[in-house]
Structures are given as C-alpha cells and as structure tokens.
Chains A and B, each alone.
Chain A
Amino acid sequence: MNFINTLLPTPARSLLLFVVWLLLNNSVAPIHLIVAAVLAVLIPQLTAPFRDPQPPIRRWGLALRYIGRVLLDIVLANLQVIKLVLGPNKNLRPGFVLVPLAITEALPLTILAGTVSLTPGTVSAEILPYQLHENSAKPKFLLLHVLDLQNEAELIASIKQRYEQPLKEIFQC
C-alpha cells in the first residue's frame, strides 16, 4: 500500500492524465496505453512539489447536479447577452458589484469565479484581498462587472444561493 502511495500520490489526477492522453490520441493501441501509463505516473511525481493541498469533493451527486445547472445557465446567459448586445447601447446599465464571500479555499473559489464569468451577464473581476503569500488575509470579496445591473441585492443573493451554497456543500468547507 505504501508503495502505491509513493508511486501514485494523486490517483485521481493520474487517472485523468491517462484518459486525456488516450483521448488526445483517439486510440487504445498498446503503445498509447504504455505512454499514457508512464505519463500518469511521471507527471504527478514531477509536479508534486508545486501542489497546494485542496479540499476533496465530498458530495459527487451534488457536483454532477452543479455541472448540469451551470451548463443550462450558460445557454440562458447567452440568450440574455445576445438580447442586450443587439439592442441599443443606451439600454445597458453596466455596473460593478462587490459580493461578500463565504468560502475561502482556493479551488472552490476558482470554480465559483469561473462559473460567475460563464453565466448571466456577469464577469468576475477580482478576488479581494490579494493572495500574495501564505499569510495574506483570507479572501473576503469577489468584485464583479455586470452588463445590465438592475437589482444589486437580488443579484448577490442569487449568486450566493445558486452557486456558492452548492459549492460549499460539495467541498464541505
């Protein structure tokens, strides 16, 4: 068991690399299987020193539902943005919004910022305060740019309830 732990420090990542390599080559010929296996062992070994520990996904069912919801929201977001883009510019009400954060871990926060960028009318601008070194203050706010800002409180509440709350539960942080 110890031997396996040293050989594959991050089994999930190794599996991902293995699958991605086979997908890239679009083949399961023995030579590709061998190269994929070598890469799946070597790359995690080489990159291990750069890794920051991240919270693991604790609730997979919820994570899958989250992906489905985000894909649906991307389609809705596009219809909305297209409506705004095709209309006259003077109808736009752009604005900045500061969203107070409840999660502080890097991985869930990255996913949250990415989701917000891909969904209705909002783009993540900055996570404040800056995380320059390990002892920086914890992230407190997410600064957003909104294409058509109507009701700030409603927008913040919907982001917190629709995206932040599920992420909190998925990572249990």
Chain B
Amino acid sequence: MTWLEWIIALLVIAGTLFVLLGSVALIKLPDFYTRLHGPTKATTLGLGSLVLASMVFFNFIEQQLNLQQLLIALFLFISAPVTAYMLIKAGLHQKLAPTAGTQQQELMKQRDKLAKGE
C-alpha cells in the first residue's frame, strides 16, 4: 500500500466512525434538543471525511480531475445548519419538553415575548 492509500483508508474509517457515532447520538441522548447535536456535527464531519477520501482517490490514484465532491461538501455545510435550525424551531413551537435538569428552561417561555420584540 502506498502512503496515499493509507490516507484514503484513514479518512474512510474516520468518516464512517463519525457517521455511526452521529447516529448513536440520535438514539441514545435523552430528549429532542440534545439529539439534534449528533446529526448536525458528527454526520457533517463524517460525510466531509468520506468526500475528502473520494477526492484523493479520484484525483491522485485514478489520475483524473474530479471536483464534484467539492460541491457535495459545499451543499452539505450549507444545508446541515439550516435543517437543524428548522427542526429545533419546530420543536420549540410544539413546546416539546426538554429533559429534566435542562438549565434555563424559562427561556422557552420567554421566547414568545421576545419574538414579538417586547
């Protein structure tokens, strides 16, 4: 194996692990709000690593210029936070109960007033 192959292997393994752990977080964490943290962060980085591995493979080993992966990464980094924002906003709107011990829960009630600019 050349050193390039080692890099690709490492990126693929790291990427898979991050995606897996993001999904574990989705199941294991206690409430809706904490569950959002896994998929927004870990999955983004996981897919980022996989995309990087694909770029290294096609550009250096297959020797063909291939930059489509940059677009995937770009769209991913734009869409992940927007999705998280829409989800958490919907959760707040439905007044989903946060897990016991969540600090500053009173902010959930205050937001109705703040939303109107009072």
Do A and B pair up? The answer is yes
A-facing mask of B102-113, CB < 8 A → 1, else 0?
111101101100
How many residues on chain A are close to B (CB under 8 Å)?
42
Within A130-161, the residues touching B (CB, 8 Å) are: 130, 136-137, 140-141, 143, 145, 147, 149, 152
**In the complex, A82→B19 CA distance in Å?**
11
Proximity string of chain B (65-93) to chain A, C-beta cutoff 8 Å, 1 when within and 0 when not: 01110110000011011101100110010
Q: What residues of chain A lie closer than 8 Å to B80, measured between beta carbons?
A: 117-118
B21 touches A82 (CB 8 A): yes
Complex CA–CA separation, A94 to B21 (angstroms): 19
A125 touches B92 (CB 8 A): yes
B67/A26 in contact, CB under 8 A: yes
Find out whether the CB atom of A96 lies under 8 angstroms from the CB atom of B38: no
Query: Using Cβ atoms and an 8 Å threshold, which residues of chain A touch B42?
Result: 78, 81-82, 85
Chain B residues, CB < 8 A from A141: 114
Is the CB–CB distance between B102 and A123 below 8 Å? no
Judge whether B103 and A23 touch: CB under 8 Å: no
**Complex contact A129–B45 (CB within 8 A):** no
> Smallest CB–CB gap between B5 and chain A, Å?
22
Partner of A147, one of B37, B66, B114: B37
Q: Is there contact, CB below 8 Å, between A123 and B66?
A: no
Q: Write out the residue numbers on chain B whose beta carbons fall within 8 Å of the beta carbon of A77.
A: 41
Query: With contacts A118-B77, A125-B88 known, is A89 near B29, CB below 8 A?
Result: yes
Cα separation A108 to B104 with both chains bound (whole Å): 27
Query: In the complex, which residues of chain A have a beta carbon less than 8 angstroms from the beta carbon of B89?
Result: 125-126
Please tell me if the beta carbons of B34 and A78 are within 8 angstroms of each other in the complex. Answer: no
Q: Are B45 and A124 within 8 A (Cβ)?
A: no
Contact status A74-B107, CB under 8 Å: no
Q: Cβ of B24 and Cβ of A85 under 8 Å apart? A: yes
Give A67 Cβ to nearest chain B Cβ, in Å. 10
26 contacts between A and B (CB under 8 A): A20-B71, A23-B71, A24-B68, A78-B42, A81-B38, A85-B24, A89-B29, A93-B103, A94-B98, A96-B108, A118-B77, A123-B84, A123-B88, A124-B85, A124-B88, A125-B85, A126-B88, A126-B89, A126-B92, A129-B117, A130-B116, A136-B117, A140-B117, A143-B114, A145-B88, A152-B104
Interface residues of chain A, those whose CB is within 8 Å of chain B, are 20, 23-24, 26, 74-75, 77-78, 81-82, 85-86, 89, 92-98, 113-115, 117-118, 121, 123-126, 128-130, 136-137, 140-141, 143, 145, 147, 149, 152
Starting from the known contacts A85-B42, A124-B81, A145-B88, 15 additional A-B residue pairs (CB-CB under 8 Å) come to A23-B71, A74-B48, A75-B45, A82-B21, A85-B38, A94-B98, A95-B103, A95-B104, A96-B105, A97-B104, A113-B81, A118-B81, A123-B84, A130-B115, A143-B107
